[in-house]
Each structure stands twice: as structure tokens, then as C-alpha cells.
Amino acid sequence: MKGPVGEGKCVICSAPSGAGKTTIVHHLLHADLGLEFSVSATSRPQRPTEVDGRDYFFLSPEEFQHRVAGEDFVEWEEVYPGRFYGTLRSELDRIWTNGHHAVFDVDVQGGMRLKDIFGKRALALFIRPPSMEALAERLGKRGTENAASLKVRLDKAAIELQAAPLFDAVVVNDDLQHACTQAEQRVREFLVG
């Protein structure tokens, strides 16, 4: 695999699905920190509200595997059976060429892999739900899960929560505004350091 690209810094936001990481990432992007969103690629189906190239780069499983073989990814993972997610090297090149720092909204495995790749150039934040019950409620309110897929996500979340100590900082999302403020403070300290 090719090595890391560019010279910028990275902010990695990871969490179990439904913990609020995307909302916190949106807050960080609007906080005048010089961050730019790194759009991930995925082989999962596009949801009706999602825009290709803004929310994700939606690739067929075959195209995703072709891009893996071409070493187009900095990292990639099969997050759910048959569902691939990854960080395209071209995204980081684009962000760092623009003079910005990359911010990632990635699953826990991808977050740990990115931290391993970028080391001290990355701040890895783990966004933790206040409880498994709160997480189940949030996922249920989305309306995107059936009973079977909800169980898969909650089982995966229980395992992912054990990885929290491996991250640079844990932000508990029990009060969204407080969680956003805490995440922003951590990022500011990292970027000036």
C-alpha cells in the first residue's frame, strides 16, 4: 500500500452508529477551524436524502474492489457484511492542496486505522452515547432500520464502545451542545499544538 499523502493534519471522529458523530462533525466544519470534510467512499446503497460526492462517493462493490486493487484508498474496511467503506487518497490530496485539515466521520475500525496511519498528525475523537438504551432510541427514531438491522448495529456498537480508551479523547454526547463545545475545544488545542 502507498504511504500517507500530503502534510496536513487530520481530525478523526468515530463512534458507534447513532452516537451523534455526524452532527458534531457538522459543528466542527462551521467553527472556523480550517477543516474540510473528507468524503468517504462506500458500497452501500445511497439513501434518498444523500448526494453522491457530498455525503459519500457511492461505488458498486465491484468498483470499490477495483479501486482497492489500484491502491486508491488510504484505508478501507468491510464494516458490515458486503458493505465497504474507505478513505480515498484523492480526497486527502484535494483537502491538503487547498491548505485545510481533513476531518473524518468514520466508523470505529476506520478511525483506529486512520490514527495508526497518521499518528501524531491526527486527533482521534471517540463520540460516546450516554447509554446503549439512548443509542437504541436514537437509531429507532431514524426510521432507517428494521428489527434485524437494528440488532446488528447495537451488537456492533457494544463491541465498538470497548475501543473508546484507544482514542485520544472521548466526548460523551449526553447533551449535544456541550458535546459540540467539548469537541471544538479539543480540536482547537490540537490544531495550534
- Per-residue exposure over 36-53, b if at least 16 CB sit within 10 Å of its own CB, e if not: bbbbbbbbbeeeeeeeee
The confidence score (pLDDT) of residue 2 equals 46
Q: Rounded to whole angstroms, how far apart are CA atoms 119 and 146?
A: 38
Strand partners, 96: none
The confidence score (pLDDT) of residue 139 equals 79
Q: Rounded to whole angstroms, how far apart are CA atoms 13 and 20?
A: 10
Domains (range + CATH), the chain: 10-192 (3.40.50.300)
Closest CA to 8 of 85, 74, 67: 74
pLDDT at 3 over 70: no
Q: What is the pLDDT of residues 157-167, one digit of tens each?
A: 899 999 999 99
C-beta of residue 17 within 8 angstroms of C-beta of residue 139: yes
Q: Which residues contact 107 (CB under 8 A, 6 or more apart)?
A: 14, 17, 77, 79, 85, 160
pTM over 0.95: no
The confidence score (pLDDT) of residue 190 equals 97
What are the CA-CA distances from residue 80 to residues 137, 150, 154, 155 (Å)? 21, 12, 12, 12
Closest CA to 109 of 84, 131, 88: 84
